[in-house]
Amino acid sequence: TIQNYTGNSISTIGYQRGIYFVKVKSGMTFATQKLIVR
- Count the domains in the chain: 1
Residue numbers of the domain that contains 9? 2-36
How far apart CA 10 and CA 31 sit, in angstroms, is 10
List per-residue pLDDT tens for the chain, 38 residues long.
Answer: 555 555 556 565 666 666 666 666 666 555 666 665 55
Q: Are 30 and 24 in contact (CB under 8 A)?
A: yes
CA-to-CA dists, residue 37 to 16, 22, 23, angstroms: 11, 12, 15
Query: Phi/psi at 9 (nearest 5 deg)?
Result: -80, 130
- Residue 18's identity, in one-letter code, is G
The answer to whether 35 touches 19, Cβ cutoff 8 Å, is: yes
Residue 13: per-residue pLDDT: 63
pTM over 0.85: no
